[in-house]
A and B are shown apart, each in its own frame.
Chain A
Amino acid sequence: MAAHSHNAHNEQITGEIPKPQTKGIWRVFIILCVLTAVEFAFAFLMEPGTLRNVIFIILTIFKAFFIVAEFMHLKHETKSLIWTILVPCALIIWLIIALITEGSFYGDSVFNYFK
């Protein structure tokens, strides 16, 4: 969280502004660019299929990890906050998978019944 330095309350007496620490931020940026480039490589060089989709999803989860952990700073929060966010997300993923598999089966049986 932001430092509550008291002399900063007065705009006139701002002390030395520390030097920016941006090395880590640009490192994450480069990682995200590389992952996106790899996704494009797979999109054009590999035949479409289940394996390619699995690779896409894994790469997407890697990208999501870097955005949430570093950019949204979740990696550096307290353990309780990390779990408060991650557990519902895991349940959402479960929900999506369950709805798609069950829903596809239900959809197929309904449509095939009226064929």
Chain B
Amino acid sequence: MSTTTTLEQPKTGTWDGGNEPMKASYGKLMMWFFLLSDTFTFGAFLTTYGLIRHRHNAYTGTAEDFTFSTAYWPIPEKVFNAFPGFHGVDLPLAFVALMTMILILSSVTMVLAVEAGHRIDKNDVQKWLLWTILFGSTFLACQAWEWSHFITGSDQGMLMPDGTRFFGANLAQNEYGPVLFADLFFFITGFHGTHVFSGIVLLIIMFITTVNGTFQRRGHYEMVEKIGLYWHFVDLVWVFVFTFFYLV
């Protein structure tokens, strides 16, 4: 009745299970992979932008003589040169510079919130989350202003074939240049703005949960870290949108 059982020693290698090979939790990894898939979405926008821009003529004259025309792609600093409260003053890219600074600053306050989470410092997490929500909302408000200005248009507008004047831009008409320029503006900045909006909603949920002390009882603030990853991604996308839409 002797039975021989050979007990197999469990494997203990990095990829043999029972541990976290990447030293990151499931949720954090999935957030990374989601962001990777989102990169594809914005990559598609970037490709579309590159192709459409290639199909249009570039403006060849000097910047001083530039006028809006549907014959060539406009110079961005001539389109985006308005600032709230300074009607008629030519301030090229000043407002978008301000928006960029606000978004980078919101990213910094987000890292500070994550850092406070590492120290299990509830008050600091609350404080920095609130700053991030504030800066994020400010960015969104700026974008709303930018959109409404773009849609309302300049004082002179564009002379239509039937003698009337068209002001601003929509998906079918555009006084600043080719129609597709306006379409891409609406789609790319709009898609980014939607991401910012979702981020703010998530941050507000984080703030409420922190105030309720849920993370404090749980013993860690990893959820804030995951939302932080998303928020930095939104900032990252803006860095690219800014370069390709406003600078190039």
- Alpha-carbon gap, A3 to B218, bound state (A): 11
Does A107 contact B55, Cβ atoms closer than 8 Å?
yes
Q: A2-B118, A64-B239 are in contact. Are A43 and B93 (CB under 8 A)?
A: yes
Proximity bits, B40-52, A CB within 8 Å = 1, else 0: 1001001100110
Does A21 contact B232, Cβ atoms closer than 8 Å?
no
Q: Cβ of B116 < 8 Å from any Cβ of A? A: yes
Q: Cβ of A9 < 8 Å from any Cβ of B? A: yes
Of all chain B residues, the one with the shortest Cβ separation from A79 is B22
Does B236 contact A64, Cβ atoms closer than 8 Å?
yes
- The distance from the CB of B175 to the nearest CB of chain A, in whole angstroms, is 22
Does A22 contact B112, Cβ atoms closer than 8 Å?
yes
Does A57 contact B243, Cβ atoms closer than 8 Å?
yes
Contacts of B54 in A (CB 8 A): 100, 104, 107
Which of A11, A56, A72, A78 gathers the greatest number of chain B CB atoms within 10 Å?
Answer: A72
Does A3 contact B220, Cβ atoms closer than 8 Å?
yes
Q: A11-B213, A25-B112, A89-B39 are in contact. Are A53 and B51 (CB under 8 A)?
A: no
Chain B interface residue count, CB cutoff 8 Å, equals 60
Contacts of B124 in A (CB 8 A): 20
Q: A20-B119, A107-B54 are in contact. Are A77 and B93 (CB under 8 A)?
A: no
Q: A1-B220, A67-B235 are in contact. Are A33 and B104 (CB under 8 A)?
A: yes
Contacts of A67 in B (CB 8 A): 107, 232, 235-236, 239
Q: Cβ of B87 < 8 Å from any Cβ of A? A: no
Of all chain A residues, the one with the shortest Cβ separation from B108 is A29
Instruction: Name the interface residues of B197-247: CB closer than 8 Å to any CB of A.
Output: 213, 216-222, 225, 228-229, 232-233, 235-236, 239-240, 243, 247
- Alpha-carbon gap, A70 to B229, bound state (A): 11
- Alpha-carbon gap, A26 to B77, bound state (A): 30
Does B47 contact A100, Cβ atoms closer than 8 Å?
yes
Specify which of B32, B77, B247 is in contact with A81 (CB 8 Å cutoff). B32
Contacts of B157 in A (CB 8 A): none
Contacts of B105 in A (CB 8 A): 29
Specify which of A20, A60, A70, A77 is in contact with B243 (CB 8 Å cutoff). A60
- Alpha-carbon gap, A43 to B135, bound state (A): 26
Using CB atoms and an 8 Å cutoff, list the residues of chain A in contact with chain B.
Answer: 1-6, 8-9, 11, 14, 17-18, 20-22, 25-26, 28-29, 32-33, 36, 39-40, 43-44, 48, 53, 56-57, 59-60, 63-64, 67-68, 70-72, 77-78, 80-81, 84-85, 88-89, 92, 95-96, 99-100, 103-104, 107, 111
Pick 23 A–B contacts, CB within 8 A, sort by A.
A1-B220, A2-B118, A2-B120, A2-B219, A4-B219, A9-B218, A11-B217, A20-B112, A20-B115, A20-B116, A21-B115, A25-B112, A36-B100, A60-B239, A67-B236, A72-B233, A77-B24, A78-B22, A89-B36, A96-B46, A100-B51, A104-B54, A107-B54
The 6 closest A-B pairs by CB, nearest first: A2-B220, A100-B50, A81-B22, A60-B243, A104-B54, A71-B232
Known: A1-B24, A17-B121, A95-B47. 9 other contacts (CB 8 A): A1-B28, A2-B221, A3-B118, A22-B115, A67-B232, A67-B235, A68-B236, A77-B23, A103-B50
